[in-house]
Amino acid sequence: IAKAAEKGTDCRTLSGQFIDEYCRDIRRLGVDDADISPKVSDNIGEIITAVSKLLEKGAAYELDGSVYYRVGSFSSYGRLSGRNTGDLKPGARVEVDKEKENPLDFAVWKKSSDGEPGWDSPWGNGRPGWHIECSVMSAKYLGETLDIHGGGQDLVFPHHENEIAQSEAITGRPFSRFWLHNGFVTINKEKMSKSLNNFFTLRDVYRRFSPQAVRFFLLSQHYRSPIDFSEDALADAERTLERVNRSLKEKASAGENNKARKDAEKIYENFMAALSDDFNTSAAFAAFFALIKLFNQTKSAAVLKKIDEMDRVLGFLKLEKKQKTALISESEIQAMIEKRTEAKKAKDYASADGIRQELLEKGVVIEDSPAGAKWRLK
């Protein structure tokens, strides 16, 4: 609300801009669009109905145009986060209002002040509280009990705790069967924060590193563990993927290699077992690289097929790669390679090494082989 006022626009326009930017950035990471992306502003009627049900059940109360959830009415409050309501500190994450029955009670409908966005309701002009929209829209589109609910570890309390309380008060059913909470991307072991001036966006990272390397880096750690961002780590990811991409450009042999096929199937079983163990991507990566090594050794088409099956899950091999450029044209590269070859034939190794180094400085790597010199971009 404050940012929209600062920019002289309305909240819906500003939030729409952020949604578009977010979607563009994560698409480059290979994240598919959701089947449904509901907006709070399109579901106000359903939210008002849910708040009314909470009032009818005695799980909420009205106070000066706002409606608050009565935390004391839900005996299981705190079970997800393992917190006891008696130990919770009022005001730590919940707005304190001295008129509330309990300082821990949270708003499910907030009275709007003049100039703030709001909708007509039985309690006057207002807008949904922070948590109620998630309960309402998830029930509308996914059902009253979710199979899996995810989110960052900082949302366990109060957001997810409050979702459980209000959803189960309305439906009388369990809100979610399983919860997945991911760790943070940190900078020098600290959570990213604008206040610490260590905040950046995916778009900032894409200026230096490929989406392929970013996805690889994020998947390299277990989702529940924090992952410390560093340019060195992303550069390592870029180099690792360059080697993998180079290996996979090699043609598979035409013949059938039964031993390689059986070894690949066993490695793939280990890969799936790792992912079935709470998405253990670290162990899954070990299986992936074991399969890459097996392909390098055998050039088996069966192994290559299993690598493709793995990447349907991991999803980074077909992503946008680092764009490589040379400071020299292909014809100039070829002319210098021929000149180097003549120097080597004349046993002028100093000149040959000088040409190799000059090409390297222009972004071109020379690789000698029995069939002659090959080149690739650095």
Q: Are 53 and 109 in contact (CB under 8 A)?
A: no
In tens, the pLDDT along 202-250 reads 988 998 899 999 999 999 999 999 999 888 999 999 999 999 999 998 8
Cα 242 to Cα 316: distance, rounded to the nearest angstrom:
12
Q: Are 100 and 91 in contact (CB under 8 A)?
A: no
What pLDDT does 378 receive? Answer: 66
Looking at residue 165, what is its pLDDT?
98
Residue closest to 126 by CA, chosen among 70, 166, 66: 66
**C-beta atoms surrounding 127 within 10 Å:** 21
Q: In CATH, which superfamily holds the domain spanning 34-182? A: HUPs (3.40.50.620)
Pairing mode, if any, of strands 106-111 and 66-69?
antiparallel
Residue 340 in this model has a pLDDT that exceeds 70? yes
3-state secondary structure of 322: coil
Strand partners, 62: 67
Q: Is the pLDDT of residue 325 over 60?
A: no
Distance in angstroms (rounded) separating the CA atoms of residues 213 and 206:
9
Burial (Cβ within 10 Å: 0-12, 13-18, ≥19) of residue 281: buried
Classify the C-alpha dihedral 188-190-191-194 as positive or negative.
negative
Does residue 371 surpass a pLDDT of 80?
no
Mean pLDDT of 249-272: 91
| Predicted local confidence at residue 155, as pLDDT | 96
pLDDT averaged over every residue in the chain:
90
Mean per-residue pLDDT for 340-366?
Answer: 89
Residue of 88 and 246 predicted with greater confidence: 246
| DSSP code of residue 225 | S
Q: Name the residue among 342, 252, 265 with its Cα closest to residue 297.
A: 252
* Residue 95 confidence (pLDDT) above 80: no
Looking at the predicted structure, is the pLDDT value of residue 78 above 90?
Answer: yes
According to DSSP H, which parts of the chain are helical?
2-7, 11-27, 44-56, 132-142, 161-171, 202-206, 211-219, 231-248, 258-276, 281-298, 301-314, 330-345, 349-361
Q: What percent of the chain lies above the pLDDT cut of 70?
A: 94
Q: What's the pLDDT at 10?
A: 86
| Residues 174-198, mean pLDDT to the nearest whole number | 86
Over residues 280-309, the pLDDT tens digits come to: 999 999 999 999 999 999 999 999 999 999
* pLDDT reading at 96 higher than 80: no
Please report the pLDDT score of residue 99 as a whole number.
Answer: 85
Per CATH, which fold does 190-323 belong to?
A: Isoleucyl-tRNA Synthetase; Domain 1 (1.10.730)
> Which neighbouring-strand residues pair with 67?
62, 109
Structure tokens at 141: 């589109």
Q: Measured between alpha carbons, how far is 308 from 292 in angstroms, rounded to an integer?
A: 11
Q: How many CB atoms lie within 10 A of CB 4?
A: 16
How far apart, in whole angstroms, are the C-alpha atoms of residue 214 and residue 238?
A: 8
**Count of residues in the chain:** 378
Task: Indicate whether 35 pLDDT > 70.
Answer: yes
What's the angle, vertex CA 225, arms to CA 221 and CA 226, rounded to 5?
95
Residue 13: Cβ within 10 Å count: 10
Judged against a pLDDT cut of 60, whether residue 154 lies above it is answered with yes
Give the confidence band of 324 by pLDDT, cuts at 50, 70, 90.
low
137-146, 156-165, 248-257: the lowest-pLDDT one: 248-257
Tell me which of 76-90, 94-108, 186-200 is least confident: 186-200
Q: How far is CA 23 from the centre of its chain?
A: 12
pLDDT of residue 200: 83
